[in-house]
Amino acid sequence: MLAGTRHATSTPWATTREKTTFTLTTGLFNSGDIDEAGQYWISTGGLDYYQYNFNPGTANYGGLVSSGKLSGTGGYTIGDWTVVPGVGGGDLWSVGVSGQNAYLLRWSRATKAFTLVRNLGNLTGASTSTTPFWGASYATTDGFLFAVENGTGQIWRIAVDGSSSPLRLKDAPVSSRNDGARCLDSGAIVVGS
């Protein structure tokens, strides 16, 4: 997202085809996702958070619900964050970076704090002169976080509960500006092993 006045558009797929435009807080947000209650959570690299109500027909629809500064990510650089339903507890999950290693981080909507879940290692095989950046992520209802590393285009499937090792999938095009998005109730993505 770029700086300036933000407008988000919600177009319900009902027969009325109404369009609603919201004005959001100005900022350089690089993380955002919508939870099961229609709450839109955005952040600037884990430094802050803003919660907007995007649930049509509810009080304060389109309004700012809460916001605040965060105590940081524990020193890890993050890109996107994603609501992981089921075993992910509906919290926002991200792949953070320190040096060349990737770390699975969990941001609690209740405590507004990041927790280091585990070290995933140097997934991309980056050398000491290259620092990975995980710029897009999305999830499935069976507890997997899918993350895209911008500099290589590598896509990884990560079990948030640690039930399986991270799995590298097909590569995407290299990108410096990307975003991950998927419907919250989307089912499993079948991949080969």
Nearest of 1, 45, 51, 63 to residue 26 by alpha carbon: 1
pTM of this prediction? 0.85
> Is residue 2 very low, low, confident or very high in pLDDT (cuts 50, 70, 90)?
very low
CA distance 42 to 34: 9
Tell me: the pLDDT tens digits for 104-131? 999 999 999 999 999 999 999 988 777 8
Domain range summary for the chain, segments of one domain joined by +? 73-168
pLDDT at 22 over 70: yes
Q: What would the 3-class secondary structure string for the chain be? A: CCCCCEEEEECCCCCCCCCEEEEECCCCCCEEEECCCCEEEEECCCCEEEEEECCCCCCCCCCEEEEEECCCCCCCEECCCEECCHHHCCCEEEEEEECCEEEEEEECCCCCCEEEEEEEECCCCCCCCCCCCEEEEEECCCCEEEEEECCCCCEEEEECCCCCCCEECCCCCCCCCCCCCCCCCCCCCCCCC
Mean pLDDT of 55-79: 91
